[in-house]
Amino acid sequence: MTEKLVIIGNGMAPGRMLEHLLEREPDRYQITIFNAEPRVNYDRIMLSPVLSGEKDYEQIIIHGDGWYIKNNITLYKGHKIVAIDRAAKTVVSDHGAIEAYDKLVIATGSTPMILPVPGHGLPGVLTYRDLDDVNAMLLAAQSRDTAVVIGGGLLGLEAAAGLAARGMDVTVLHLMPTLMERQLDPAAGYLLQRAVEERGIKVITRANTKAILGKERVEAVELADGSIIPATLVVMAAGIRPNSGLARDAGLEINRGILVDAGMRASDPDILAIGECAEVGGHVYGLVAPLYEMARVAAARLCGDETAAFVHNDTPTKLKVTGIELFSLGDFADGDDREEIVLRDAAAGVYKRLMIKDNCVIGAVLFGETSDGAWFNDLKKKEVDISEMRDTLIFGQAYQGGSPLDPMAAVAALPDDAEICGCNGVSKSKITGAIITKGLTSLDDVRAHTKASASCGSCTGLVEQLMKLTLGDAYNPAAAQPLCGCTTLGHDDVRRLIKAKRLKTIPAVMQELEWKTSCGCAKCRPALNYYLVCDWPDEYADDYQSRFINERVHANIQKDGTYSVVPRMWGGVTSAKELRAIADVVDKFAIPTVKVTGGQRIDMLGIKKEDLPAVWADLGTAGFVSGHAYAKGLRTVKTCVGSDWCRFGTQDSTGFGIRIERFMWGSWTPAKVKMAVSGCPRNCAEATCKDVGVICVDSGYEIHFAGAAGLDIKGTEVLGLVRTEDEALEVIVALVQMYREQGRYLERIYKWAKRVGVAEIRLQILDDLERRKTYFDRFVFSQKFAQVDPWSERVSGKDKHEFRPMATVALAQAAE
């Protein structure tokens, strides 16, 4: 008989526990989760990048709605458990839901410490623990006003950096003499403060908060020395404590946290506790690596493995603030029984300190250059005798055994059991083994199969070096290559920093990201223009001079210097009026060649550049708009006649193709996008070699994507089957928007899909309904600002926002 497993809390620890449990015994338990937050499981480590703008919520979801459905897990969102009845073996939520259990896992996490100073309850005083806190801070940051962060630890500094990135004037107040005093020695704390202040954040140490001032809401913070710091927002980041009140009320044994044994069992044998709420071996934890180890042990015990046991290990500390390299591990306090090795490079801003006891590394602090962190961690874990390398130890692994090693050789020299990803406890051999046995070729593949670099991401460089080491020349990701010779940054880094730093003009990007040239080049300017158009559709003014010539003149340049014009024919359907207009233009401008294209449109070739405005003006009288045959955008939606005429047609493929094209035309994409809708599996519109294709069947619409029929020949991947035309439209639009946001400039959909992974795309677009709707809404929002009317700027000189009549018509017609 299937046992009932109830989990209180849906954070990272219980999420990882379920992954282990489902991998080992997927049918053992009927699983129910109660989550106090009104959402699915997400990566809390990545809240800081969400706050700073480097990521959004959808990008940090670990398990979307589809995952719970697929694994038959019942998830109660927004249900806080208020009582545990151990005698009846039931739990009760604040909404009155009652659930019985055979086994119960408590994963209630921690609660932020609120300083009990006058004014701590004023509106505008926030904590920093979950997505609701981040959303509240983002709302407050829209004022671009003043913020005070109380606490100079990890969370406090990440909050300060995020608010500063959002344009706020930020001051950090810290009680102790140096920042992060629990993780850093004073020297590293000084360097950290300097690096934080260089980012425009004020830091006040030895700051004892006396009161928070204000009448209706926060106005200032008063310190014990009488100083007054103005503030419209105050973030409390002064520490956390285990959230153990529910367990205490149920009669479980409590100390600082819920007391558990090495098997994660509480004082009731049918109850386990994991995560920040648990206390094991006298320790409570706030970093993710030990929480994931708790999850592994708990899953094993739930599967009947009584040998699984939690073992304490020191976990490195890393700060998630872009541009600040920091690593701290173990014991670095002074003492008579130990010695220290220190390296300082003031010019480079590098500081390294190793603590040695009995010829073993017991602690390390690295600032400014942290690549040897994994190696020092390995030496500490294994208690390696370092006496023979004592003189060169501080210089790192590359300098051991004679002449310096290059970085790749240093990674190769790491032992197989060296820990690469501290968050997830992933060793070198597990990564290289997965690459070889599973044929992994991308970073996303490695993350999916091993979890390495899937949490905080600080080990990404090491993982990529291992991939290069294992795959050789076969691993050559575009992200690792500079965008062009004007910068050392790749596409992904440029796009991430545009969002993080809120850069909204090409000159701002080049200045802030330290471009090597004054104005860029023909390779980087179009890419930057696309990223800015896509990321800031309502604020960035499309720079036509940064587009390729074909996009600037709405025509394709030919080898003889003339141009071809392809007016848009919605879904390949035309009329006598349109055909007459084309014929008149051909006669009037003596256009030498007229050709039907493979995309079911008419192409007029041999037009002089000086005639292009007049050609478009005449075509416009018939209602024609640009077919964007030249564009990095939606080009065609090829259709067959479908159910209206064909005896085999199952759906109105022509009508649906026109609906898609009218809804999506004028949207810029990283590379050209071609679509097709076939009315039956005979596939007359050739939908299975397009970027996005639809095969209409009796039961609905089969969505295909990632095909190619050019230099590369590739059949499509099947995304999935949907029942209605409305749902098919939403899926297609969301898919294209995901590609718009994640694709690198000039990267076709099939290459993007290979890099990201078809399974991940299917998860986000087909399985996760909430995320799909978010992508769809963002596309619709961007369409409001799309400039699609050809020649409007050059003909009239007016502002682009006055030239969106056809976009408005298209959206209205699509809605109908």
CA 737 to chain centre: 14
* Average pLDDT rounded to a whole number, residues 339-360: 89
pLDDT tens sequence across 554-599: 888 888 889 899 998 988 889 999 999 999 999 999 999 988 888 8
Other Cβ atoms within 10 Å of 603 Cβ, number? 18
CATH classification of 125-238 is 3.20.20.80, yes or no? Answer: no
Is the Cα torsion angle 440, 445, 451, 456 positive or negative in sign? Answer: positive
Contact 688, 722 (CB under 8 A): no
Q: Is 640 annotated as a binding residue?
A: yes
By the 8 A CB rule, do 252 and 258 touch?
yes
Better-predicted residue by pLDDT, 72 or 554: 72
pLDDT of residue 480: 54
Scan for tokens 């927002």, then name that residue: 233
- From 299-303, 417-421, 592-596, the region with the lowest mean pLDDT: 417-421
* Local confidence band at 657 (pLDDT 50, 70, 90 cut-offs): very high
Please tell me the distance from the alpha carbon of residue 555 to that of residue 602, in angstroms, as a whole number. Answer: 13
456 appears as a binding residue in the annotation: no
Average pLDDT over residues 29-57: 90
Q: Average the pLDDT over 638-651 and give the result.
A: 89
DSSP state of 615: H
- Check whether 277 is labelled as a binding-site residue: no
* Range 343-370 average pLDDT: 89
Q: Is 771 helix (H, G, I), strand (E, B) or coil?
A: helix
3-109+242-302 maps to which CATH number?
3.50.50.60
Tokens for 225?
Answer: 């020395």
Residue 293 has pLDDT above 70, yes or no: yes
> For residue 513, is pLDDT > 70?
yes
- Directed axis angle between helix 769-783 and helix 725-742, to 10°? 80
Q: Per-residue b/e over 66-104, b at no fewer than 16 CB within 10 Å?
A: bbbeeeebebbeebbbeebeeeebebbbeeeeebebebb
- CA-closest candidate to residue 12, choices 109, 104, 83: 109
Per-residue pLDDT tens over the stretch 174-199: 999 999 988 888 988 999 999 999 88
For 735-759, the pLDDT digits (tens) are 999 999 999 998 999 999 988 888 8
CATH number of 550-630: 3.90.480.10
Write out pLDDT tens, residues 3-39: 999 999 999 999 999 999 999 999 999 999 999 999 9
Q: Is the confidence at residue 551, as pLDDT, over 50? A: yes
Residue 475 binned pLDDT confidence (cut-offs 50, 70, 90)? confident
pLDDT band at residue 311 under the 50/70/90 scheme: very high
* Percentage of the chain exceeding pLDDT 70: 94
pLDDT category, 796, cuts 50, 70, 90?
Answer: very low
Closest alpha carbon to 375 in 392, 356, 397: 397
Q: Exposed, middle or buried by CB within 10 Å (0-12, 13-18, 19+), for 610?
A: exposed
pLDDT digits 0-9 by tens, 420-439: 887 777 888 889 998 899 88
pTM: 0.66
Q: Do domains 550-630 and 634-783 have the same CATH topology?
A: no
Strand stretches in 633-766, DSSP E: 634-639, 673-678, 692-697, 700-705, 708-709, 713-714, 717-722
- Name the average pLDDT for the chain: 87
Maximum pairwise Cα distance, the chain:
97
Contacts of 58 by beta carbon, 8 Å cutoff, 6+ apart: 764, 771, 774, 775
Other CB atoms closer than 10 Å to residue 177's CB: what's the count?
11
Which tokens sit at 244? 């153990």
- Which pLDDT value is given to residue 401? 61
Confidence of residue 807 (pLDDT cuts 50, 70, 90): very low
Tokens of 632: 């990095």
What average pLDDT does range 677-699 have in this prediction? 93
pLDDT in the model for residue 805: 33
Task: Output the CA angle 729-734-740, nearest 5 degrees.
Answer: 130
Q: Residue 485 half-sphere exposure, CB side, CA atoms within 13 Å?
A: 2
pLDDT for position 681? 92
Q: Is 486 annotated as a binding residue?
A: no
Return the domain boundaries, the chain: 3-109+242-302, 125-238, 491-547, 550-630, 634-783
pLDDT at 800 over 90: no
Mean pLDDT of 94-121: 95
791 pLDDT more than 50: no
Neighbour count for residue 655 (Cβ, 10 Å): 17
Decide which of 503 and 414 is more confident: 503
The strand pair at 202-205 and 271-273 is best described as unpaired
What does the alpha-carbon distance between residue 142 and residue 165 come to, in Å, rounded to a whole number? 11
> Domain 634-783, what fold?
Sulfite Reductase Hemoprotein; domain 1 (3.30.413)
Average pLDDT over residues 395-419: 71
Distance CA 678, CA 641 (A): 8
The strand ranges marked E within 51-176 are 61-63, 74-77, 81-85, 90-93, 98-100, 103-106, 110-112, 125-127, 146-150, 169-174
Pairing of strands 103-106, 3-8: parallel
